[in-house]
Structure 1
Amino acid sequence: MVLAFSLKVVLGSLAFAIFWVLAVFPAVPFLPIGRTAGSLLGAMLMVVFQVLTPEQAYDAIDLPILGLLFGTMVVSVYLEKADMLKYLGNLLSWKSKGAKDLLCRICLISALSSALFTNDTACVVLTEFVLKVARQHNLQPQPFLLALATSANIGSSATPIGNPQNLIIAFQSKISFGSFLSGIILAMLIGVVVNALILLCMYWRLLSIQKDETDAAVDVVAEEDEMIPLKTVWSRDRLRDALSIESSEHKEDLTIRWKVMLWKSCVYLITIGMLIALLMGLNMSWTTITAALALVVLDFKDARPCLEKVSYSLLILFCGMFITVDGFNKTGIPSTLWDFVAPYAQIDHASGIAVLAIVILVLSNLASNVPTVLLLGGQVSTLAAANSGADKKKAWLILAWVSTVAGNLSLLGSAANLIVCEQARKNPHLGYTLSFWSHLKFGVPSTLIVTAIGLVLIR
């Protein structure tokens, strides 16, 4: 695409620059309105500056992606209500064999839960459990928080529902859930193992320190039972009534417990059914929405409290982002810049894959991974399709893998990293700040090594 009319180029670039600044730095002093409002502002400016017509702006919004995102968020809410992630959290301390064993468990559980429930959801829930276990064993939380955030990002790369950019890739590429999973699963598993090994190497001495676990339990107050002499003599009738009341209450508690267990089992079965349907190649958006509504009906309660937990601001953010990025593409700047890179980014040889990976890695950390996928998706696909259909699919999977793992490079590279950092800082019992430089020191080597290994294994 040639560059559009020069005024449209300038105004479209200005609108995208405003969106980019607010997306990357949501609390800028001169306009602290946040990411969601920033995306809407960018979208509005694209229409006001006549880079897009109102009709083109509405057409730019991808409703199937929004439907899939909404459905997965509702399913995640009900899974959390059914204590699914709580059970996963309990596995962290179950028969633990020390700090190194705990770190490996965090890597595995974080990766698997992120692939099924999205990386942001897994980090929101599991951060509390990680801090709790670290506090109980009087352990330095830094390596465990890094394990949680980085493994969540790597694990989310394996499925189309693992993170937002994969949702976009799955719909634009028309790659089925099963094909997406089979293409990246090996790279994801090896990547999680390698990431854990790097963590163990960097923090081996810290993880080997044996501390007195009794120091971590200072706040636990033991209460002694007092023997209260029985001064009242119960009559037979009163004793019989008391036993009868106790028996009826026990039966009621047992009935309620069985109902809760049955409801939880149904939630898990519906979720498993949804995953099977996705693996069978059914429409991803309608499958997840159907599962979400089945859970709403099964709950047999007012769904408003659960639906209020859905991140509607994220859905609005995506709407604005779709419009803003589409307007920026209309200026012709992305395609013009891509024309310079394209001859060196052919995926039919190793050097071309390396150049493509570097471009995705840099853009994902400068412009965030979702806008990067929206900007590069069509260009990468068109370039690879010139060789073969297999290369086209591989190009989409490389884009999914690199843009996701790129989030581990720095603390600002992924929303999952920021969630872990904020959750740890605000924890009432163990407020801990994961610094930018401590994350970068681990993130750079881990990201480069894991990304390179994955590029070799993606099929």
Structure 2
Amino acid sequence: MRRQSRAQWAAVDHDWTGYALQPSSAKKFLLVEKQHVVRYARAVSHWEKELVATIIFAITYILISGRQLKILPLNRPAAALLGAVLMVSTGVMTPERAYRAVNYDTIVLLLAMMLISAYLYLAHFFEWAADVVLGFSRSPERLLLYLILTSGILSALLVNDTICLMLTPLVIAVIRRGKLPLLPYLIALATSANIGSVATLVGNPQNMIIGHFSRIPFSEFARALVPVALVGLAINFVILRFGFRKILRKAVIQRTPHTIPKLDSGLFAIVCIVFVSIFAGFVVGLNLAWTALAGAALVMVLARRDTHEVLKLVDWHLLVFFAALFVVVDGLSDTGLPDTIYSHLRPVFGSHVTTQSWNLAWFSVAGSNVFSNVPFVLVAGHWVERFAEPELMWKVLALATTFAGNLTIVGSVANMIVVESVREHLEVGFWDYARFGIPITVLTTSAGVAVLLAFR
């Protein structure tokens, strides 16, 4: 009897233990609820991160687009740096992710081209070139043409912002010495620097970024965009000559005795030889950044100049600006917002390559003037691979974001450099520039896209 009782109790105990080990309805409910809470927390966390990243991105872009807030009166590099710090400090991205976000190829390439430009400046090349242009010019119209060609060609070989920084004081001196009106020539300097810079991957910062992400060979890019730049420079000359025809006809170049620093032929020869070697490396497909930096380092060794003097001429503010901007844009990209924006815009661009080219061009012109061209390229670059012909679209993006800089005074850094440099001699109003900038932008962009489509 006892044995049977014990056996029965053992069976009951076994059944109860098995039942206890099975998840009850309450346990199942709590488990499901816990899973829902975790998923909800993750969703909220992602949503919060996306919101924070978007707010940081918006504030940064408002500040760098020239719309300074009273409570945050920051310039562009400081605004971009603040945005980068906020992206990390708010947890949108880790410090390690922020370091990886910086496109060092673009930074190094920009630094190298600035160093080479600095050595040309120390060789007094820009003073010599400005004087030669004035000497060959028999009329104000001819001077306008030569200035457009000089600015455009130099900007294709070096960085357009650097060319404007180096040439503007010299052009002002040459024009004032010749007793000529400043406005036509300064607008020509800025607009042709923007137009000419589209020709190569080293002409401007946005082209450098496009070259890095698209992997288009230097020679292939130049083959497609050099004709676009030449057509653009021709249109620029026609518009400015027509717009200033009355002023230019009345003007007479007055040649007065003057002295300029003698060209340092030895340093100039060194820079030219190294520069040709750098471009040969570009053409054969070597890494753009390190080829240019190797050339700059070689000039440093051969020139035997105090490097402190050279490094003072580097625009460190611009390098900080771009490095920080890479972090800000990458923080936004991690949220997937650029992809969401593209999904809504995709029907607008169309499906045929011709339609996509025109629509992307005009959208880029508008976007570059709202957000500035480099930030716009960093965002729009995520969309290009989804178009019918990605390589063509990279070229359209380069063309449109570059030519967009001519629309208004604040359209590009090159414009602002010229306008700020001439402020003590001439106040250039918004409409003074825009009445030429708008037709120049519209016609050069239209002609450029047509050329790309015709010869693709």
Q: Is the pair's TM-score, using the shorter chain for normalization, greater than 0.5? A: yes
**Given the alignment of the two structures, is residue 448 of structure 1 paired with residue 442 of structure 2, yes or no?**
yes
**What are the within-5 Å matches in structure 2 for residues 16-415 of structure 1?**
16-25=57-66, 27-210=68-251, 213=254, 260-346=264-350, 348-380=352-384, 382-384=385-387, 387=388, 391-415=389-413
User: Aligned partners of 1:337 and 1:3: how far apart in 2?
Assistant: 20
Whether the aligned pair in 1 keeps the contact of 2:196 and 2:203 (CA below 8 Å) is: yes
CA RMSD, 1 decimal = 2.2
Q: Could you tell me the TM-score, scaled by structure 2's length?
A: 0.85
2:83 partner amino acid: G
User: Aligned partners of 2:178 and 2:126: how far apart in 1?
Assistant: 21
2:434 partner amino acid: L
**Deviation at residue 399 of structure 1 after TM alignment:** 0.6
User: Aligned partners of 2:70 and 2:433: how far apart in 1?
Assistant: 25
Whether the aligned pair in 2 keeps the contact of 1:85 and 1:122 (CA below 8 Å) is: no
Higher helix proportion = 2
**Deviation at residue 112 of structure 1 after TM alignment:** 0.3
1:412 partner amino acid: V
User: Aligned partners of 1:392 and 1:274: how far apart in 2?
Assistant: 28
User: Aligned partners of 2:342 and 2:417: how far apart in 1?
Assistant: 33
User: Aligned partners of 1:319 and 1:261: how far apart in 2?
Assistant: 36
Q: Which residue of 1 aligns with 2:419?
A: 421
Task: Point out the more displaced range, 360-369 or 121-130.
Answer: 121-130
**Deviation at residue 60 of structure 1 after TM alignment:** 0.4
User: Aligned partners of 1:302 and 1:145: how far apart in 2?
Assistant: 32
The one-character-per-residue Cα deviations of 1:401-451 (angstroms, maximum 9, x if unpaired) are: 10000000000000000000011114xxxx112211111111111101100
**Deviation at residue 308 of structure 1 after TM alignment:** 2.6
**Given the alignment of the two structures, is residue 435 of structure 1 paired with residue 429 of structure 2, yes or no?**
yes
Whether the aligned pair in 1 keeps the contact of 2:338 and 2:382 (CA below 8 Å) is: no
User: Aligned partners of 1:4 and 1:371: how far apart in 2?
Assistant: 26
Structure showing greater radius of gyration is 2
2:391 partner amino acid: K
Whether the aligned pair in 1 keeps the contact of 2:115 and 2:311 (CA below 8 Å) is: yes
The one-character-per-residue Cα deviations of 1:333-359 (angstroms, maximum 9, x if unpaired) are: 222111122233257443322211121
Unaligned runs of 5+ in 2: 1-42
**Deviation at residue 175 of structure 1 after TM alignment:** 1.0
SS for the counterpart of 1:97 is: coil
**Deviation at residue 302 of structure 1 after TM alignment:** 3.2
Residue 400 and residue 279 in structure 1: after superposition, are their counterparts in 2 closer, same or farther (change >3 A)? Answer: same
User: Aligned partners of 1:399 and 1:416: how far apart in 2?
Assistant: 19
1:122 partner amino acid: I
Whether the aligned pair in 2 keeps the contact of 1:3 and 1:9 (CA below 8 Å) is: no
Q: Which residue of 1 aligns with 2:38?
A: none
Whether the aligned pair in 1 keeps the contact of 2:126 and 2:170 (CA below 8 Å) is: no
User: Aligned partners of 1:400 and 1:306: how far apart in 2?
Assistant: 30
User: Aligned partners of 1:86 and 1:133: how far apart in 2?
Assistant: 9
Q: How many residues align?
A: 408
Q: Could you tell me the TM-score, scaled by structure 1's length?
A: 0.84
**Deviation at residue 264 of structure 1 after TM alignment:** 2.6
Residue 4 and residue 71 in structure 1: after superposition, are their counterparts in 2 closer, same or farther (change >3 A)? Answer: farther
Residue 3 and residue 421 in structure 1: after superposition, are their counterparts in 2 closer, same or farther (change >3 A)? Answer: farther
Residue 455 and residue 75 in structure 1: after superposition, are their counterparts in 2 closer, same or farther (change >3 A)? Answer: same
Whether the aligned pair in 2 keeps the contact of 1:346 and 1:383 (CA below 8 Å) is: no
SS for the counterpart of 1:139 is: coil
The one-character-per-residue Cα deviations of 1:304-359 (angstroms, maximum 9, x if unpaired) are: 22123212222111111000001111222222111122233257443322211121
2:93 partner amino acid: L
User: Aligned partners of 1:160 and 1:92: how far apart in 2?
Assistant: 26
Higher relative contact order (CA closer than 8 Å, sequence separation 6+): 1
User: Aligned partners of 2:239 and 2:315: how far apart in 1?
Assistant: 34
**Deviation at residue 211 of structure 1 after TM alignment:** 5.3
Whether the aligned pair in 2 keeps the contact of 1:402 and 1:451 (CA below 8 Å) is: yes
The one-character-per-residue Cα deviations of 1:45-74 (angstroms, maximum 9, x if unpaired) are: 111222212221111011111111111111
1:367 partner amino acid: F
**Deviation at residue 212 of structure 1 after TM alignment:** 8.7
User: Aligned partners of 1:394 and 1:321: how far apart in 2?
Assistant: 26
1:115 partner amino acid: A
**Deviation at residue 143 of structure 1 after TM alignment:** 1.1
Task: Point out the more displaced range, 18-27 or 275-284.
Answer: 18-27
1:87 partner amino acid: W
1:353 partner amino acid: S
Residue 402 and residue 174 in structure 1: after superposition, are their counterparts in 2 closer, same or farther (change >3 A)? Answer: same
Unaligned runs of 5+ in 1: 222-256
Q: Percent identity?
A: 34
**Deviation at residue 210 of structure 1 after TM alignment:** 4.0
User: Aligned partners of 1:264 and 1:92: how far apart in 2?
Assistant: 18
SS for the counterpart of 2:397 is: helix
User: Aligned partners of 1:212 and 1:261: how far apart in 2?
Assistant: 29
Task: Point out the more displaced range, 432-441 or 83-92.
Answer: 83-92
User: Aligned partners of 1:321 and 1:315: how far apart in 2?
Assistant: 10
